[in-house]
Structure 1
Amino acid sequence: MTMDSANQEVWIGVDVGTTGVRAIAYTEDGTNVCASEAFYPLLTPHPDWAEESPLQIYEAVETVIRNTSSQLRYKNKKLAGVALSTVMHSFAGLDVHKKPLMDMQTWADSRSSDVVREMKKDPALCRSFYERTGCPIHACYPLAKIIWLRRHQNELFSQMKYVGSLKDYIFYHMTGEWVIDKSTASTSGMYNEKGLEWDTEILSYAGIDESYMPPVVSTTYSHAIADAAAEAMHLPKGMPVVIGATDGVLVNVGIGAVEPGQLSGTIGTSGALRMLTKQPKTDIEMRTWCYNLTDDMWVAGGAINNGGMILRWVRDKICHYGGSALENLDIDPYDLMTMKAEHIDAGANGLICLPYFTGERAPYWNSELRGMFFGFSLNHSRSHMIRAVMEGICYSLNSVMLALKEFDEVQDIRVSGSFTKSKLWLQILADVLDSPITLPDNSEGAAFGAAVLGFISSGHLKGISDTAHLVHPKKMYMPQQENVAVYHELYDIFVRLYQNLQKEFVDITAYQKHI
């Protein structure tokens, strides 16, 4: 870009995640001008439940936008607009006034696994729904959540007049208009990706009709901010708010994985591998999903349920590093865990972790899986467990990788997420995938991706491919062949453990539900 950065247009990209929200102001050349973040709790009142308060999340969104816009004024930067990114698969029933009747179910909520189990007894129905929506049958999707509500909380279901997601809830409160973007709609399990409309047959199967659903708009659609929201967030009246897309698909844009053969790899709370495609693509084995990004671009991929959350579990429950003692010593517990794991050879001396603590999405789409450590012997320690968790999460991503390779040749893997702070974990991923991986200079993928949709909406960028030159490699990690051989052997055992313990997974999940 030849334009003086001081005079460039600035957009705030808002990335609403599972447990926190970031608002980051960007110029169109990808410069991070300023940022703010806030956090909120994930509520787990019962086994398999994972909820959040939409009111609490919206308050956090207000806070970070207000703080970021204030910083821009101090920096004498003119703000052009705000663009949104939110997590996928959220659901809350709304009343006639579009107020939530309940806390919002997140992607991690698997209480509807009984619904999914029943649906999977009809393979033809599952394949039909998958090929029309790009969404495998799984408890993470709002389709199953709505059916669960109808069966188990019928009084609330009867009060529900609208089906809400986190995206349309935030956009409605910011603009007064109730619509949903194509990206979020395509992650619901109820949006027909060929007809680009709500699938009336699937809605009927869920027990609702189109009147419950918000109108679907492009991910670059904008509306002027409502006066009350502008005042609360310290934004100019009439400023455009771009509805944006979901965080998973925006990561590709944010880290520059926008060309054929490029993959984005992420490990945060969960994890995913994704590639762009010009049209919706489905997998013959139904291992992957496909969601919308822009009007002429889709993202095929697979998300795993269990990423950094499992390492956090090891931090708190195994290593007991979750207290304030380490903070008082200015020691990051994850740095200490990584240091311990670095002293362990690849393969963790034969200790394998199946990281299915909250069931699994891709490639198995099975909410009745549970985590396990296999191969314990007396020489294993907490350090081995730390490394085994890192490796097990990478094994799960490798299962997704093998499915995506059937869509296109993989030429470049770019990574983002909190795991990029760990050189060890990045090297393990390169070794397990047996592919070079690139750490880009921009790791805040979804927030920048949202801002890009703002620039496209305003006409400053023509399309997402314009961002390819804005993100540059920071470091490359090459697979170490001696480790590749180790991981190839252990990955085969990892897969066979899943295959051979199907009945045991079902039985232990059923037992746990009745405790």
Structure 2
Amino acid sequence: MESSNQEVWIGVDVGTTGVRAIAYTEDGTNVCSSEAFYPLLTPHPDWAEESPLQIYESVEEVISKTAAQLWYKNKELAGIALSTVMHSFAGLDEHLEPLMDMQTWADSRSADVVRDMKKDPVLCHSFYERTGCPIHACYPLAKVLWLKRHQPDLFRQMKYVGSIKDYLFYHLTGQWVIDKSTASTSGMYNERTLQWDDEILSYAGIDKSYMPPVVSTTYMHTLAPKAAGTMHLPEGLPVVIGATDGVLVNVGIGAVQPGQLSATIGTSGALRMLTRQPKTDPQMRTWCYNLTDDMWVAGGAINNGGMILRWVRDKICHYGGSKLEDLDIDPYDLMTMKAEHVDAGADGLICLPCFTGERAPYWNSELRGMFFGFSLNHSRSHIIRAVMEGICYSLNSVMLALREFGDIRDIRVSGSFTKSRLWLQILSDVLNEKLTLPDNSEGAAFGAATLGFIASGRLKSIADTAHLVHAKKVYTPIAENVATYRELYSIFARLYLKLQDEFAEITEYQKKI
């Protein structure tokens, strides 16, 4: 059998509930792919855990299946590169094995720790300026402090602080290291000195011996014999450690120059802007994480994106069963059709979509969802549209902070919301900006593969991918809608500011139930 001389890398995208492995050539062609899923465990309110071993077995499965497809297609695999979710934490024992299930980004059990930290604004601002991470329950710093406070026996047994990225890389290569991108999402890595921050580690009750050595996102090591045997791959195959999914989305959709933004709505949502150096916000509304040695991503992620529309689908519209599937109807298409019959602004119905607390720009786990302005003329169609608009209002809150970092000249979109023309138009109108829908919206997996091509020398930098991604459609703001949303967003923003005490009180009440 003749071997193809076109280099192929597998980008592995480890998400919250599933993993995809996609094989790419350096021109961005998707050769083949495979995916697998694993459960998100919620044993208690505010807990959101996963089994690292279950994730690793899923990763081995999708790599093995994708590599097998490459063999049948007569394509030679050059290497594997990783993208993983941010903010995961599991304490590890002396053998680098987890002492517990891994806390995910969605785990907010450490809200009490965060509340106590915020009583010292000077400390919070100091930690933020050094790490680029606001004080919030999603960050591993808060998770380590929670373990210290609530499970001291486990804390004493912990010898190393682990994340899903270093756990996977260790089992694939035998090397325990962490990339700059994942380290910079921990709340314990100093983005100015590019080292673990001694003062913050001391505050958490640990030291540098607990932390993995930090390497570049293009750092490469060879596949270990055990992993190679399990996946039927050659020993010595290069494995690139890669970055986090949040920043790699920008690479995947071609938003790779300063001033370019990515706007994503999937389960959650985010706005991300590339910068040449770490950027922090005086009001601590945004985060800043590493992408490559000379590129950073400033932005903000919102907790509540498509998951709120799913809640409307199941709890308000009752479209979650099999009846619509039997009729070959997508429930979201039906919901969009209903929302299209309602004018911009949903006749004055405003949704604050903070059902699971909120990250950017408020960083407040005690926020709760709310519909404001109900009257008798409002229907389910209004509720659907108000939710779509409210999620866009939340992203606009992040956009106001990012505008202070520099000119915005191009916004590219990705995520499941790109299937809805209505939702894309709403976001364009709320932000009052043009939006570009790229022809490649696979995001993080392609971004990871790109780091593989850079590590192997086939590409010089992420900027080399800009010409590979083209505009499929451009959405332009509608002036009349822009004026409507400007007025209603002002009310939306004030609702949060005026109800701080009430949000805290209702959260405390709900914890007693």
User: What residue identity is the alignment partner of 2:206?
Assistant: I
Q: Report the CA distance between 1:234 and its aligned residue.
A: 2.8
Q: Distance in 2 between matches of 1:156 and 1:12?
A: 37
1:197 is matched with: 195
1:399 is matched with: 397
Q: Distance in 2 between matches of 1:250 and 1:468?
A: 13
User: What residue identity is the alignment partner of 1:137?
Assistant: I
2:52 is matched with: 54
1:401-446 Cα deviation digits (max 9, x unpaired): 1100000111110011111111111111101100000000110111
Q: Say if 2:328 is the partner of 1:330.
A: yes
Q: Report the CA distance between 1:89 and its aligned residue.
A: 0.3
Q: Distance in 2 between matches of 1:294 and 1:261?
A: 17
Secondary structure, aligned partner of 2:199: helix
Q: Matches of residues 84-483 of structure 1 in structure 2 within 5 Å?
A: 84-483=82-481
Q: Matches of residues 473-512 of structure 1 in structure 2 within 5 Å?
A: 473-512=471-510
Q: Which of 75, 78, 91 matches 1:77?
A: 75
1:55-112 Cα deviation digits (max 9, x unpaired): 2211211121111111111111111001000010000111111111111111111111
Q: Number of paired residues? A: 511
Q: Distance in 2 between matches of 1:89 and 1:116?
A: 15
Q: Report the CA distance between 1:334 and its aligned residue.
A: 1.4
Q: Matches of residues 7-86 of structure 1 in structure 2 within 5 Å?
A: 7-86=5-84
Q: Distance in 1 between matches of 2:101 and 2:366?
A: 23
Q: Report the CA distance between 1:6 and its aligned residue.
A: 6.0
Q: Distance in 1 between matches of 2:373 and 2:456?
A: 56
Unaligned runs of 5+ in 2: none
Q: Distance in 2 between matches of 1:48 and 1:511?
A: 14
Contact kept, 8 Å, 2:132 with 2:288, in 1: the verdict is yes
Q: Distance in 2 between matches of 1:94 and 1:325?
A: 46
User: What residue identity is the alignment partner of 1:216?
Assistant: V
1:362-409 Cα deviation digits (max 9, x unpaired): 111111101111111122222211111111110000011110000011
User: What residue identity is the alignment partner of 1:497?
Assistant: L
Q: Distance in 2 between matches of 1:29 and 1:353?
A: 42
User: What residue identity is the alignment partner of 2:64?
Assistant: R
1:285-322 Cα deviation digits (max 9, x unpaired): 11111101111111111111111111111112222222
Q: Report the CA distance between 1:235 and its aligned residue.
A: 2.1
Secondary structure, aligned partner of 2:96: coil
Secondary structure, aligned partner of 2:343: coil
TM-score when normalising by structure 2: 0.98
Distance 1:103 1:500, change over 3 A: same
Q: Distance in 2 between matches of 1:320 and 1:385?
A: 13
User: What residue identity is the alignment partner of 2:159?
Assistant: K
1:219-247 Cα deviation digits (max 9, x unpaired): 00011111221222232221111000000
Q: Report the CA distance between 1:145 and its aligned residue.
A: 0.6
User: What residue identity is the alignment partner of 1:102?
Assistant: M
Q: Distance in 2 between matches of 1:392 and 1:45?
A: 30
Q: Distance in 1 between matches of 2:232 and 2:394?
A: 43
Contact kept, 8 Å, 2:259 with 2:275, in 1: the verdict is no
Secondary structure, aligned partner of 2:405: coil
Secondary structure, aligned partner of 2:468: coil
Q: Report the CA distance between 1:507 and its aligned residue.
A: 0.3
Secondary structure, aligned partner of 2:267: coil
Q: Distance in 1 between matches of 2:395 and 2:296?
A: 20
Q: Report the CA distance between 1:502 and its aligned residue.
A: 0.3
User: What residue identity is the alignment partner of 1:81?
Assistant: G
Unaligned runs of 5+ in 1: none
Q: Distance in 1 between matches of 2:511 and 2:116?
A: 17
Secondary structure, aligned partner of 2:404: coil
Contact kept, 8 Å, 2:425 with 2:475, in 1: the verdict is yes
1:237-293 Cα deviation digits (max 9, x unpaired): 211110000001111111111112110111111111011111111111111111011
Q: Distance in 1 between matches of 2:4 and 2:174?
A: 33
Q: Distance in 2 between matches of 1:379 and 1:71?
A: 55
Q: Distance in 2 between matches of 1:71 and 1:336?
A: 37
Contact kept, 8 Å, 2:411 with 2:435, in 1: the verdict is yes
User: What residue identity is the alignment partner of 2:437?
Assistant: L
